[in-house]
Structure 1
Amino acid sequence: MAHTTHRTHAKEKVARPAVTAPPSPGPAAPRGVRARKLLTPWLFLIAPLALLIVFTYAPVANMVAYSFTDWDGVSPELSWTGVGNYVDIFTRAELFQVFLVSGYYLAASAVQIGLALYFATVLSFNLRFRNFFKGVIFFPYLINGVAIGFVFLYFFQDGGTLDSVLGLLGYESDRAWLGTSASANVSLAGVSIWRHLGLNFVLFLGAIQSIPGELYEAAELDGAGRWQQFRYIIAPGIRPVLSLTVILSISGSLAVFEIPYIMTGGATGTETFVIQTVKLAFQFNKTGLASAAAVVLLLIILAVTWVQRRLVPDDKVDLV
């Protein structure tokens, strides 16, 4: 009995962890080494920060300054007009009503987001030829916007591709697709959907594929169908990307330029705010007024973005 007690005390002594003293702090690094560690990241940031300031913030500052003048863009002399240019923008209906054209592109953006989300959801599952369809959807975004404008200019002209296809289907159309304001804006908005669908599609597809596959497997074991998987897994999982896409779509619909400029030049009621701004600056030599218009557009986009971020905060998504 004594031997057993002795062995038990011996085991207890062996089982106790050894207490080690905390390591003593090493010698402090020299002041020069610490300074280099602090300055090294900034050395790598000098070039991009310089480019950002020179090509982004400095031009924006000059644009804001020119918006308070009557500069014509050529003369070295300019006069201070105060807020006169901004008063003109908000009081002259022909300068501000072009924002109504953005409504067509805003509606097109909603259709575009819906189509991109649908195709991204369908092609995220195992389907035959899904990589081929991914390429087909994304390909238009790779084409130059000027080339797309010329292609669809012949597509919508009288007796063009669209009329020929409708004739083969037995429908004879005498409509001038770019001849009236409503039909022209609807046609241009349709081109915008085709052009930018691929970008939103790729954003949604990447977000969907980043969701862990175990969640889909667990949902299938619980008997969830495709719609339940979309509603309870995909939709919450891609909410940050969806929020970003909405911001890009709204800002893009307010700043449409190349497609209507190439196809109609702003005629037949298709002039957008950006086309009007370009004409004010380079056709009518009213650079000060054009700068004020650009500042107004920038403020509207920032305000819309702020409101959207307040309504839909970018919270962390937890699907588990």
Structure 2
Amino acid sequence: MRALTPWTFLVVPLAFLVAFSYVPIVNMVVYSFTDWDGISPDYTFTGLDNYTEIFTRRELFEVFLTSLYYLGASVIQIVLALYFAMVLSFNLRFRNLFKGIIFFPYLVNGVAIGFVFLYFFQPGGTFDTFLGAFGIGGGHLWLGDPDLVNYSLAGVSVWRFLGLNFVLFLGGIQSIPSELYEAAEMDGANRRQIFRHIVAPMLRPLIGLSTILAVSGSLSVFEIPYIMTGGSGNSETFVIQTVKLAFQFNKTGLASAAAVVLLLLILLVTWVQRRLVPDRRTEIS
């Protein structure tokens, strides 16, 4: 009975996990081999036709180019998060206030953020007014110009997800024994040298985790561009395209195949990253 006790507490969460995660994934894989329209109770198995269509239709994969904007934004996001975490790990005035300001956007619902920035990027709106204070005039179509829209949306993603990486890095920095900092300061090391020889090696696993999250997030971005532009003006992502295939064009089988491809691609990227940068503790130099 003692051995069964832990499982009695796990029955309910495991049941929810299977019912709402694993079963839908299995159904998605099954539907990817059919021509199901998402409405009719009947469907026909088509083999690999959906996957063949995905890999032979160029426009279905061109949307991955949009992910490059978010990948570049993720790099900026990681660098900024690491910088702020390093600065705010020292004893500064109002550092708790600044921590809250940086982390707060991550707590806000993504839909609310999308609507807020819709007004922020309106021609002649808040952002144009801010730029006008520095002599940069003109009502730019930040969300309507195909050359600007992805930069605007990627900037919103940096603002929203900066807090997540910031908290991860800050926790990692604060977990480093204080004796290492004291020894480095006694040896005359400045903050740049402390970061290079102590902080960076100790944060290597967290930086690897942030890289995985950045790549997978840039491939599966959906919420912000869908709310703000609906995928128009060259801002369509692979997930937005998949949703349109399922619910706008009633091609649920093809959309399921696209979702499976995206899942496999994220798993492949994660595996490659883990092979190139193994998760092992780095010795401090």
- TM bin (shorter chain): over 0.9
Residue among 9, 20, 33 paired with 1:55: 20
Secondary structure in 1 matching 2:212: helix
Distance between the aligned counterparts of 2:147 and 2:261, measured in 1? 26
Shift of 1:54: 1.1
1:47 corresponds to which letter in structure 2? V
* Unaligned stretches of 5+ residues in structure 1: 1-35
Among 159, 174, 183, which residue is 2:124 paired with? Answer: 159
Matches within 5 A, 1:1-320: 36-319=1-284
State the 1:43 CA deviation.
2.6
The CA deviation string for residues 55-97 of structure 1, in whole angstroms up to 9 with x for no partner, is: 1111100000000000011100001111111111111111111
Counterparts of 1:165 and 1:218 in 2: how far apart (Å)? 46
Which residue of 2 is the match for residue 31 of structure 1?
Answer: none
Deviation at 1:267, TM superposition (A): 0.3
**Counterparts of 2:141 and 2:11 in 1: how far apart (Å)?**
55
Q: Unaligned regions of 5+ residues in structure 2, if any?
A: none
Q: State the distance in 2 between where 1:263 and 1:38 align.
A: 52
1:245-266 Cα offsets, whole Å, 9 max, x none, are 1111111111111110111000
- Distance in 1 between residues matched to 2:139 and 2:12, nearest whole Å: 58
Tell me if structure 2 keeps the 8 A contact 1:166–1:173: no
- DSSP-derived class of the 1:256 partner: coil
Taking the aligned partners of 1:143 and 1:239, their CA distance within structure 2 comes to 28
Q: Does the Cα contact within 8 Å between 1:260 and 1:271 map onto a contact in 2?
A: yes
Superposition CA RMSD, Å: 1.2
2:16, 2:283 → 1: CA distance?
Answer: 38
- Does structure 1 retain, via aligned residues, the 8 Å contact 2:202–2:281? no
Query: How far apart, CA to CA, are the structure 2 residues paired with 1:152 and 1:299?
Result: 32
AA partner of residue 121 (structure 1):
M
Corresponding residue pairs, total:
285
8 Å contact 2:119–2:126 — kept in the other structure? yes
Q: What letter is aligned with 1:218? A: A
Aligned partners of 2:212 and 2:273 also within 8 Å: yes
- Equivalent position amino acid for 1:38 in 2: A
In the alignment, the residues of structure 2 paired with residue 170 and residue 50 of structure 1 have an alpha-carbon distance, to the nearest angstrom, of: 59
Deviates more, 1:305-314 or 1:42-51: 42-51
Equivalent residues of 1:266, 1:272 under 8 A apart: yes
Identity among equivalent pairs (%): 70
- Provide runs of 4+ in structure 1 moved above 4 Å: 317-320
The one-letter amino acid of 1:175's match is H
Letter in 1 for 2:13: P
Deviations 1:204-236 (A, max 9, x none): 000100000010000000111101110111001
| Contact 1:156 1:178 survives alignment (8 Å) | yes
Name which one, 1 or 2, has greater alpha-carbon Rg.
1
Whether the aligned pair in 1 keeps the contact of 2:32 and 2:254 (CA below 8 Å) is: yes
**TM-score, normalising length: structure 1:** 0.87
In structure 1, C-alpha distance between the alignment counterparts of 2:52 and 2:121, rounded to whole Å: 39
Report the Cα offset of residue 38 of structure 1. 2.8
CA drift at 1:315 = 1.0
Q: Which whole-Å CA distance do the structure 2 matches of 1:242 and 1:289 have between them?
A: 35
Higher relative contact order (CA 8 A, sep 6+): 2
CA positional deviation for 1:169: 2.4
Q: Distance in 1 between matches of 2:254 and 2:246?
A: 8
Partners of 2:133 and 2:194 in 1: CA distance: 42
